[in-house]
Amino acid sequence: MTRCILVVGAGIGGLTAAIALVNRGADVEIIEKYPESVVYGVGLCQPGNALRAIKDIGLLDECYANGLASDFTEWRRASGSLIAKTPHSRLADPTRPAYNNIGRPALQNILLKEARRLGLKPRMGITADQIETEGDGVNVTFSDGSHGQYDLVIGADGIRSQTRRILFGEQFEPVYTGHAVWRIAMPRADGVDNNMIYFGNGKKAGLIPLSDGKMYFWVVVNRPGNKRIPKEDFLNEARKDFSGFGGIVKGVADTITDDTKIVYSPIEEVVMPLPWSKGRVVLIGDAAHASGPHLGQGAAMAMEDAVVASELFASSIPIDQAITKFEQRRFPRAKFIQDETRLMGERGQMSGRIKCFIRNHLILPAVLPRSTEAIEKKIGEPI
């Protein structure tokens, strides 16, 4: 019997889940609260485990064609001197680079195009306002007054998930981490061929090459109290936060004069113990386990969730057992990534001239190769 599944949220995780479920024979509906496709952020890294998930839904070629691939990350001091150059694992295809960097709009368009090719038509500008498990189904009342009944509902509606609030109230709201991030897309600077991370004093910067001669530049800063910055002050505040770096970062930062292209975001996380579900409603991606950007694993975790969800929920396994299996498979992995992300954030956001000197010259040269290898080993495990 074909299962009827509602996916709430047409972002990266939701679209991946919908595509994977249809590919495995499920009958899928998908809704999105925004009236048209909206993409927040600039670009993202697709590490090996993300590419492996993309391969599962048949879109590996499209992602490589629209991104810029590499096998290494360069870790540097604020001055620009090299700390370490670490390799990444080729998990999706041993003949192609391990990493792919892609613009968020490009990835969203790839997923939307595939969803529509499969006959999926996301209902835009719609929310699920009431979700109630009754017997062997889930009754949903939508914001336009319509109703639906489903075998399962998947909440893939992001860090501020309405589905999560319906299930659990406000006990698992996003928590501010004490850090904020500036992002901007711009022409790729000479010498930016791999992902490059610079460790500064209370801040770190990244240069991420994209396709078509573009890159995105980001700086994560310590921001106690989650200070709000008016849009008209973006350029002045950003310049202060961009200071203190040498090498390519300084040259890049000095060219930024247009505040309309700068994106500023507080960094938050969602920490949820099990269960991620109630009745026949289950959360995936940022709705269940949002983490900071320090490892570049947020989208990868959502896509892994989506693939595992499709394997279990489109199968003949009873729904309640499938949900339990999903949570048992995904929780340890998501927790590992959240824990490692926090650790990387603590290292990267260390402040104090002497502390940062010790970190950059003694600790990181020894720790980075080992910790990167351990993370690569973990994400390379079957999901």
| pLDDT computed for residue 36 by the predictor | 83
The amino acid at 99? Y
pLDDT range class, residue 87, cuts 50, 70, 90: very high
Please indicate, yes or no, whether residues 276 and 168 belong to a single structural domain of this protein: yes
For residue 261, what is the domain's CATH number?
3.30.9.30
Residue 86 lies in a domain: no
Q: What is the pLDDT of residues 108-167, one digit of tens each?
A: 999 999 999 999 999 999 999 999 999 999 999 999 999 999 999 999 999 999 999 999
Q: What percent of the chain has pLDDT over 70?
A: 99
Number of domains in the chain: 2
Residue 263 lies in a domain: yes
| pLDDT computed for residue 211 by the predictor | 84
Please indicate, yes or no, whether residues 320 and 355 belong to a single structural domain of this protein: no
Please indicate, yes or no, whether residues 111 and 253 belong to a single structural domain of this protein: no
Strands 214-222, 175-187: pairing is antiparallel
| pLDDT computed for residue 71 by the predictor | 96
Residue 383 lies in a domain: no
Contact of 68 with 100, CB cutoff 8 Å: yes
For residue 298, what is the domain's CATH number?
3.50.50.60
Please list, in sequence order, all residues whose beta carbon lies within 8 angstroms of the beta carbon of residue 75, skipping any fewer than 6 positions away. 82, 83, 84, 85, 86, 197, 199, 364, 368
Please indicate, yes or no, whether residues 166 and 194 belong to a single structural domain of this protein: no
Residue 88 lies in a domain: no
Please indicate, yes or no, whether residues 232 and 300 belong to a single structural domain of this protein: no
Q: Among candidates 305, 328, 336, which has minimal Cα distance to 21?
A: 305
Is residue 274 scored above 90 in pLDDT? yes
Please indicate, yes or no, whether residues 182 and 109 belong to a single structural domain of this protein: no
Strands 4-8, 152-155: pairing is parallel
Domain carrying residue 13: 4-71+99-174+269-347
Please indicate, yes or no, whether residues 41 and 128 belong to a single structural domain of this protein: yes
Q: In what order do the strands lie in the sheet with 175-187?
A: 82-87, 72-77, 195-199, 203-209, 214-222, 175-187, 262-269
Q: What is the pLDDT of residues 194-210, one digit of tens each?
A: 999 999 999 999 999 99
Is residue 248 scored above 90 in pLDDT? yes
| pLDDT computed for residue 171 by the predictor | 95
User: Average pLDDT, stretch 184-190?
Assistant: 93
The amino acid at 379? I
Please indicate, yes or no, whether residues 161 and 198 belong to a single structural domain of this protein: no
Is residue 41 scored above 80 in pLDDT? no
Please indicate, yes or no, whether residues 131 and 246 belong to a single structural domain of this protein: no
| pLDDT computed for residue 1 by the predictor | 76
Contact of 97 with 71, CB cutoff 8 Å: yes
| pLDDT computed for residue 321 by the predictor | 98
Residue 76 lies in a domain: no
pLDDT range class, residue 332, cuts 50, 70, 90: very high
Is residue 227 scored above 90 in pLDDT? no
User: Average pLDDT, stretch 181-185?
Assistant: 94
Average pLDDT taken over every residue of the chain: 95
Please indicate, yes or no, whether residues 140 and 264 belong to a single structural domain of this protein: no
Q: What is the pLDDT of residues 46-85, one digit of tens each?
A: 999 999 999 999 999 999 999 999 999 999 999 999 999 9
Please list, in sequence order, all residues whose beta carbon lies within 8 angstroms of the beta carbon of residue 218, skipping any fewer than 6 positions away. 42, 181, 182, 183, 184, 205, 206, 208, 293
Q: Among candidates 63, 33, 36, which has minimal Cα distance to 48?
A: 63
Is residue 263 scored above 80 in pLDDT? yes
